[in-house]
Amino acid sequence: MKTHLHFAALALVAAMPICAQAMNLEDYLGQVVQKHQGLEGLRASQEAARKTREAGDMELTPRFSLQGSYLSDKKQPSMGGMTETRSEAYNATLSKLFSSGTKVDVMAKTGGVEYIGMSPATASFFGATAYGQGGLGIGLSQSLWKNAFGRSTSLRREREISVAEAEAGSYDLQGRQILASAESAFWDLLYLQEEVSIRQASLERGKKIEAWFRRRADDGISDRADTLNARALVASRELQLTASKDNLIAAEKKVRDYLEMDGNQAAPTLQGQIASSRDLQQLVGRDGRVVSLQVYLADLQAKAQAVGAREAEEATKADLVLSGSYFTNSYEAGGKAFDGTKNWDRTDTPTAQVALSWTYLFESDAKVAVRDSARAKALAAKLQSERAAREGETAWTEMVRRHKELTLQIKSAEDLLKIQKDLAKALQDKYARGRSITSEVINSEENAANAELQLTKMRAEQRKLEAQTRLFIAVKE
């Protein structure tokens, strides 16, 4: 299973001056991705998670070391009248640990020794009062148990990959949550704009009704109570319109916050098909089983803990290491330190060694605790993953069910709105012919306005529900 940075793709949307033209949902989310500092921080954190995984192979990086030393030894007693022994030594080593667990060292060394105050007799016995010595060599070592064929390295890499993917997925989830909230703010703003428009139109109709009743009262056709009833309708709608405008201001501020706009900047002009339903499966993706991103992350964490348990078992095992080395030896009588390099390629006096070493870590409370702790964490993560999988499956099923239910409710609300509008018009015509009462006209007008608002709100809720699909992904088994 693989996850992808959902909001990174939106960053490809070309930047445009905000408010230069009406923005649709894709343009708006593209601006959010480009401007929202929280998303920018999450992208940086995701990149850091990937680099952390790559940093795990630091131990496999080739290493080069140089060493130089000087020794002056005047301790007594000494042989042949020597008053001091001086020596210099220089070493260069290139080391490389491979993923198979094989370690290779390539070395070059040279040095010189000088005996100060040595008597001629002693010097003739040793051959010289000074000499240079050096050699070239190679050393190899291979774990036969703990890291045979790179088993420990493979376990470490597997764990680090799972941990890095879980960490990156966590940042991806946070980014998706921001985008889902940003999209909800988009639909909230469109809904409130529509609500203000509907309430404004309702107020205008209320004023027409009030004027109509006032004329009828002036003509003596209706009484003062009818006029007061119409005035109450207008006052009520003015109050509702004021409240809707206040909510619209708050929604505009929220959208500006997602776009990182200053408070003195006007909210952008948004356009969207609030009445157009979207297919949930298509939004998530049809290629694979739909799971919650939280379920996916729990599964990755469980895998990482399971590998960690195996890694702990491996780390506490005994180890058997086979090693070997081969060195050439050069010798230059009367020479100094760097004279030891003159015959580096001599192979007639080599030094060769083969060794087999066994290491055992005694059983202790600490050793047992390392294994038991790793096993307990793996079991806990497995149980949490299984629980999250059940909850995630229920969450997706419930989302699909709610979306279908809202579709049915919206269809019923559309039918109701048509009936309420027809009824309001019919009652007004009936009242004009003196065959209805004032309260029926006003109530029918109020019911029609409420039905229109209810329909628009249900459509907005369905669009916001569709936005939550960003928290789900389609995965291949």
Which pLDDT value is given to residue 464?
94
| pLDDT of 12 higher than 60 | no
pLDDT tens digit string along 370-392?
A: 888 989 988 998 898 888 888 87
Mean per-residue pLDDT for 103-108?
96
pTM of the model: 0.72
DSSP 23: B
Q: At what angle do helices 438-467 and 224-258 cross, to 10 degrees?
A: 10
* pLDDT value for 4: 44
Any residues with CB less than 8 A from the CB of 462 and at least 6 apart, and which? 277, 403, 406, 407, 410
Report pLDDT for 19.
45
Q: Which of 9-23, 82-96, 301-315, 457-471 has the lowest mean pLDDT?
A: 9-23
Q: Alpha-carbon distance 448 to 416, whole Å?
A: 9
Q: With a cut of 70, say whether residue 3 has pLDDT above it.
A: no
**236 close to 476: Cβ distance less than 8 angstroms:** no
Kindly report whether the peptide bond that precedes residue 77 is cis, defined as omega within 30 degrees of 0.
Answer: yes
Res. 244 pLDDT band, cuts 50 70 90 = very high
Q: d(Cα 140, Cα 105) in Å, to the nearest integer?
A: 6
Phi, psi dihedrals of residue 397, rounded to the nearest 5° = -60, -40
Task: Give the DSSP letter string of 311-332.
Answer: HHHHHTS-EEEEEEEEE--EEE
In this predicted structure, the answer to whether residue 17 has a pLDDT above a threshold of 80 is: no
What are the percentages of helix, strand and coil residues in the chain, rounded to 5?
Answer: 60, 20, 20
Q: Who has greater pLDDT, 360 or 51?
A: 360
Judge whether residue 1 has pLDDT over 60. no
Work out the number of other CB atoms within 10 angstroms of the CB of residue 470.
23
pLDDT at res. 11: 43
Summarised one tens digit per residue, pLDDT across range 259-271 is 988 877 777 888 8
Q: Quote the CA–CA distance of 6 and 43 in Å, as a whole number.
A: 11
